Structure formats: structure tokens, C-alpha cells
């Protein structure tokens, strides 16, 4: 899963930061907006898996552990990508580029967060949750950042599996197992990632091309990208509806999945129509990007509320 980064103060260029500035730099390493987006999927999944309000301490350990796992992944990514981050305007204010944090500090910080995350998930929830947390970090750091990102235009598709792991972590924390509803939710986020990220890479295509990162949205024509966005969006919406017969979803989730899915499909098709006429603008691409975040938020809020309203439509 992705989001734009918050710039740190230009004073960091001098490397002479106070305590507050240093803390801000370390926080920026974790990509807080990405963490927010990941946690949007975690807590609702826990409510749905429990079909009630889960144990408070279980929620705390899972959310904090998940946030640390995501923050560790983001910090490792900043360390790995520090050479290309300085070439892109979107990332030129990241702490390793400005010198607010040294590479050694960033790497140490990343490992500390990773270990803390796995320990919290393992002992705060259960060993399966800890293993899934470790797998999420591995997928993002090794599979995506080290292997795929600079080698293939499908990087975000397969590497994006790391952003799907919070639903597995949440489900396992509550049930100590993985079941079909968790798999469906995993696939919803997996299919959501390209329509979310490729419009962003269209907007920042100059950045990615300057850094020689083969994001599809940057290296392919707008028509090709728009077709892919539409196809993935259709697949995502259809997959989300599988929660009704296979995941014991009720009326709230069903209504929101249909309505939000129809709305986001219309936004994807608008992008395609613009591409057909060679009229895709940065504003149009970013509208789909921001729309994808709204769609996912609505879907998972409905997932959280659903167990408390009515009964499953099937089963």
C-alpha cells in the first residue's frame, strides 16, 4: 500500500537538528501516512473476524505491532532507496536525502522497529500473527524494495502484497487462524493496489523516469495504464462482493460495497475516457488516486459496522 510523504524542515539540511527535529525525522522515515492507511484495514477486520468488539488489549497490541511493522518497512525502504529518492522531487525531502538521519541510524532504527513489531505481535496476540508480521516486512523490504521495484513495471502488483498483510495479521490475531474471508479481503487490497498507485505514478512520471524506476504509470502510455486501472478495478469490485456469499457479510457491508464499488468504477472509466482522447491531466490521475483511498476507507468502515447491524445475507 502508498501515500505522499510529509517534508521535514529545511533546517535538516544543515544536519544540526534539535531533539524535536530529530524525532520528526525518525517519524518521517516510517512514512506515517502509509501506516494510517494500513491501520484503516486492520481494526475493521478484527471487528468483523470477532463479530463483536475484540479484547481491548488484543486490539492495542495488534495495532501497535502492525504500525511498527509498517514503520519498519517504510524505514528500510527509505534506506534502500536513498540513492533514487534524491533524484525525485516527491521524495527529495526524506530524512536520508536531507541528512537529518544518517544511513547507519536509519538502518539501526529499522531493525529495532522490526524486532519490536514481531515481539509485540507474537506475544501480544499469538505466534501466527508474529510470523505474518515478519512476512509483511520481508515482502515489502526484500521482494518489493530490493528485487522488484527497479526491475519490472509489475513491481507494485506483486510487491503490493505486503500492503495486504494487515488483514491477515488482524484475522489471525482474533482467530489464531486464516479463513476464506481473510483471503477475500487480502485479494481486495491486492487488486486495489494498481488502481491506487498507477495513477500516482502517472502524476509523478518525470520523477520515476529520472530515477529509472519502471513504474507502469511512468513508462507506459496513458491509454495502457487506464485500461489496466479499469480492469483491476472491475476485478477488485467483483472480489469485494464475494464477501457476501463466502464471508457472511450483511446488509451494511453489501450496500457500501455495491455503492462505493459503482462510484469508483465510474471514476476509473472517466480516466479511461480521458486517456482515449489523450486528455489525462495530473488532476484527473490524482482524483483516481485519492478516490481509491476513499473507496477502501468506506469499504472497511462498513466491514467494521456490519457485524452489529442485522445478520449475514447468506449462511
Q: What is the pLDDT of residue 8?
A: 44
Q: What is the pLDDT of residue 16?
A: 64
Q: What is the pLDDT of residue 221?
A: 80
Q: What is the pLDDT of residue 10?
A: 41
Q: What is the pLDDT of residue 120?
A: 97
pTM, two decimals, is: 0.90
Q: How far is CA 66 from CA 146, 200, 293, in A?
A: 21, 25, 19
Q: What is the pLDDT of residue 315?
A: 64
**Contacts by 103-112 with C-beta closer than 8 Å and gap 24+?**
103/79, 106/29, 106/75, 106/78, 106/79, 106/82, 107/76, 107/79, 109/26, 109/29, 109/75, 110/29, 110/72, 110/75, 110/76, 110/79, 111/72
Q: What is the pLDDT of residue 213?
A: 86
Q: What is the pLDDT of residue 19?
A: 82
How high is the mean pLDDT in each 10-residue block of the chain (315 residues)?
44 60 92 87 96 96 96 95 90 91 96 98 97 96 92 84 93 97 96 91 84 84 89 97 94 97 96 84 86 96 93 78
The Cα–Cα gap between 190 and 184 comes to 10
Amino acid at each position: 500500500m502508498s501515500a505522499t510523504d510529509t517534508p521535514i524542515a529545511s533546517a535538516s539540511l544543515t544536519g544540526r537538528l534539535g531533539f524535536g527535529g530529530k524525532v520528526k525525522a525518525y517519524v518521517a522515515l516510517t512514512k506515517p501516512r502509509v501506516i494510517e492507511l494500513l491501520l484503516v484495514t486492520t481494526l475493521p477486520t478484527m471487528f468483523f473476524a470477532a463479530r463483536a468488539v475484540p479484547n481491548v488489549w488484543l486490539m492495542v497490541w495488534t495495532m501497535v505491532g502492525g504500525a511498527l511493522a509498517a514503520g519498519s518497512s517504510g524505514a528500510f525502504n527509505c534506506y534502500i532507496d536513498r540513492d533514487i529518492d534524491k533524484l525525485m522531487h516527491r521524495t527529495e525531502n526524506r530524512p536520508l536525502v536531507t541528512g537529518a538521519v544518517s544511513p547507519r541510524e536509519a538502518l539501526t532504527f529499522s531493525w529495532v522497529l522490526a524486532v519490536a513489531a514481531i515481539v509485540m505481535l507474537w506475544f501480544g496476540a499469538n505466534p501466527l500473527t508474529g510470523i505474518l508480521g515478519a512476512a509483511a516486512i520481508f515482502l515489502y523490504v526484500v521482494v518489493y524494495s530490493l528485487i522488484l521495484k527497479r526491475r519490472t513495471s509489475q513491481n507494485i502488483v506483486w510487491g503490493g502484497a505486503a500492503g495486504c498483510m494487515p488483514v491477515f495479521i488482524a484475522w489471525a490475531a482474533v482467530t489464531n487462524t486464516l479463513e476464506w474471508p481473510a483471503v477475500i479481503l487480502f485479494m481486495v487490497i491486492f487488486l486495489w493496489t494498481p488502481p491506487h498507485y498507477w495513477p500516482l505514478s502517472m502524476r509523478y512520471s518525470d520523477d520515476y523516469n529520472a530515477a529509472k524506476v519502471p513504474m507502469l504509470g511512468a513508462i507506459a502510455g496513458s491509454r495502457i495504464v487506464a485500461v489496466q486501472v479499469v480492469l483491476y478495478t472491475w476485478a477488485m469490485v467483483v472480489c469485494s462482493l464475494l464477501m457476501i456469499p463466502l464471508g457472511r457479510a450483511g446488509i451494511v457491508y453489501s450496500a457500501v460495497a455495491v455503492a462505493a464499488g459503482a462510484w469508483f468504477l465510474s471514476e476509473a472509466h472517466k480516466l479511461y475516457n480521458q486517456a482515449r482522447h489523450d486528455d489525462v491531466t495530473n488532476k484527473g490521475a490524482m482524483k483516481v488516486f485519492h478516490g481509491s483511498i476513499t473507496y477502501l476507507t468506506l469499504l472497511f468502515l462498513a466491514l467494521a459496522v456490519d457485524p452489529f447491524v442485522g445478520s449475514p445475507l447468506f449462511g
